[in-house]
Every structure is written in structure tokens, then in C-alpha cells.
Amino acid sequence: MDEPTTVTLPSGHQLTCDTCDGALFEQHRWKLQTTGMTFMNLDWANRDAACFVCVACRRIHWFHL
């Protein structure tokens, strides 16, 4: 697992936790895959989501990057 870091979004904003105002996050990148879409050859429907988990309160912040 990556070390917690501060996060700057592509918009230039520094991410702070909605719940506790924390600024350190674990970063994960998860595939948003919908079962059946690949079977139907709709690969465009598969998107990446970046997930930042606040290390203080464990809230997950999702971004579609």
C-alpha cells in the first residue's frame, strides 16, 4: 500500500476530507467495471475511478479521472 499523501486534484484544488478536514489520503485506483459490458463489447463503459481514503476517519472520496 502506498504511503498516505496529500492530494492535488487536476482542477488544482487540494483535497481535504469532507468529514474531518484531514489532508492525508491513501490512494487507490479501482476499475469501474460493469459485469456484462465487456461481454457486450461496450468497453467504453469501463472507466477508472481514483479513490482517496482519509487516513484519519476512513472516509472514501471518489473521483472520476
Which residues of the shown chain bind Zn ion in the complex (CB under 5 A)? 17, 19-20, 22, 54, 56-57, 59
Strand order in the sheet with 47-54: 25-32, 47-54, 60-63
How far, rounded to the nearest angstrom, does the alpha carbon of residue 17 sit from its chain's CA centroid? 13
**Shortest distance in whole angstroms from residue 17 CB to Zn ion:** 3
**Shortest distance in whole angstroms from residue 53 CB to Zn ion:** 9
Q: Which is nearer to Zn ion, 33 or 62 (CB)?
A: 62
Q: Which is nearer to Zn ion, 19 or 33 (CB)?
A: 19
**Cα(34)–Cα(18) distance, integer angstroms:** 28
